[in-house]
Amino acid sequence: MRISGTDLAHEIKQDLATRVQKLNAQGIRCGLGTILVGNDPGSVKYVEGKHKDCAEVGIESIRIDLPEDASENGIIAAIEELNHREDCTGFIVQLPLPEYVNTLKVIEHIDPDKDADGMHPMNLGKLVLHTQKLPETPLPCTPRGVIELLEHAGIDFNGKDVCVLGRGITIGRTIGLMLSLKGKNATVTMCHSKTRDIEDKIRQADIVIAAMGVAHFVKPEMIKNGAITVDVGVSRVFVAEEGRWRIQGDVDPSCYSKVSAYTPNPGGVGPMTRAMLLKNVVEMAERSA
């Protein structure tokens, strides 16, 4: 089964558009802000996609673009501006930031109630503390998108062995918290570049969530028959025979004939991550109402 994130994201945005209209009728406006430092092509395209999504749903866009040599204090000043703007319901600082910037320090300056990415230490802390159900705070977009995508496809996490490849904050370190909640009841193994016998751990999993950023790392011999693969990783690979760069995921497409379900890349988790960002902003506005 091919699990399309594009299709579900479209449905979610239709629902959000209706909810935004109801909020507007109450005199409550939804606004998403973005802070982009520099002109990295991937980041620029991703931010443009976010604002395009806003236009589809009826959320107002607030965009702050800073030069690639912007100082750390300059970035923090932009954050403080959005923290205090009444027309900004929530906002994100597009990552990665330049190497000379202390990313954690920057994120800590975001108002937790406006943390559209769900990455502020206070919101992550609440996620750690809640073991029964999800807290009513902004949730990390990518793991939330993965869970909603699989559940919409009828996949039950209860009792499943899940292997997560990657320990990044975007999904690797957070999805385990969400999947181990009561009500999800998955058993999660997080693997990384120093994990011993990683192929054995992947082969034991019912669900493999690959978020390493290593093109086609997961091969058919690594997974068991009937497993489910979720491809989160993104790599730009030059394909010599085509003479062009292409986006490739962590899961080799040759795995598809062996699995019971898979998310494609692109067209799988990416659209869901963007949809969850919008959902966070709408939920913030609804909580304020």
CATH of the domain at 258: 3.40.50.720
Examine the domain organization and report whether 82 and 148 are in the same domain: no
pLDDT score recorded for residue 163: 98
Does the annotation mark 111 as catalytic? Answer: no
Task: Round to whole Å and give the CA distance between 36 and 54.
Answer: 16
pLDDT score recorded for residue 145: 97
Task: Round to whole Å and give the CA distance between 235 and 158.
Answer: 31
Confidence of residue 152 (pLDDT cuts 50, 70, 90): very high
Instruction: With CA atoms as reference, report the closest residue to 31 among 90, 81, 115.
Output: 90
> Which of 111, 131, 158 represents a domain boundary (last residue)?
111
Confidence of residue 40 (pLDDT cuts 50, 70, 90): confident
With a CB cutoff of 8 Å and minimum separation 6, the contacts of 114 are: 82, 83, 88, 89, 90, 91, 284
- Averaged pLDDT score across all residues of the chain: 94
- The active-site residue out of 94, 248, 252, 279 is 94
Examine the domain organization and report whether 152 and 90 are in the same domain: no
Instruction: With CA atoms as reference, report the closest residue to 254 among 213, 210, 232, 222.
Output: 222
Query: Average of pLDDT values for 133-147?
Result: 93
Binding region: 166-168, 234
- Tens digits of per-residue pLDDT, 246-259? 889 999 999 999 99
Count: domains in the chain: 2
pLDDT at 218 over 80: yes
> Which of 94, 111, 128 represents a domain boundary (last residue)?
111
Query: Average of pLDDT values for 144-165?
Result: 97
Examine the domain organization and report whether 158 and 104 are in the same domain: no
Examine the domain organization and report whether 183 and 249 are in the same domain: yes
pLDDT score recorded for residue 215: 94
Q: Considering the chain, what percentage of its residues have pLDDT values greater than 70? A: 100
Q: Which domain holds residue 175?
A: 140-265
pLDDT score recorded for residue 46: 86
Examine the domain organization and report whether 61 and 176 are in the same domain: no
- The active-site residue out of 53, 117, 231, 252 is 117
Q: Considering the chain, what percentage of its residues have pLDDT values greater than 90? A: 86
Tell me whether residue 135 is in a domain. Answer: no
Yes or no: say if 193 and 214 are a contact pair by the CB < 8 Å rule: no
- Tens digits of per-residue pLDDT, 74-127? 999 999 999 999 999 999 999 889 999 999 999 999 999 999 999 999 999 999
Confidence of residue 2 (pLDDT cuts 50, 70, 90): very high
DSSP track, the chain: -B--HHHHHHHHHHHHHHHHHHHHHTT---EEEEEEES--HHHHHHHHHHHHHHHHHT-EEEEEEE-TT--HHHHHHHHHHHHH-TT-SEEEEPSPPPTTS-HHHHHHTS-GGGBTTS-SHHHHHHHHH-SSS--SS---HHHHHHHHHHHHTT---TT-EEEEE---TTTTTTHHHHHTSTTT--EEEEE-TT-TTHHHHHHT-SEEEE-S--TT-B-GGGS-TT-EEEE---EEEEETTTTEEEEE-SB-GGGTTTSSEE--SSSSHHHHHHHHHHHHHHHHHHHH-
Does the annotation mark 50 as catalytic? Answer: yes
pLDDT score recorded for residue 210: 98
Binding region for NADP(+): 166-168, 234
Examine the domain organization and report whether 169 and 220 are in the same domain: yes
pLDDT at 42 over 80: no
**For helices 269-288 and 141-152, angle between their N-to-C axes, nearest 10 degrees:** 110
pLDDT at 140 over 90: yes
> Residue 24 maps to which CATH number?
3.40.50.10860
pLDDT score recorded for residue 41: 80
Residue 198 identity = I
Instruction: With CA atoms as reference, report the closest residue to 164 among 181, 152, 176.
Output: 176
Does the annotation mark 94 as catalytic? Answer: yes
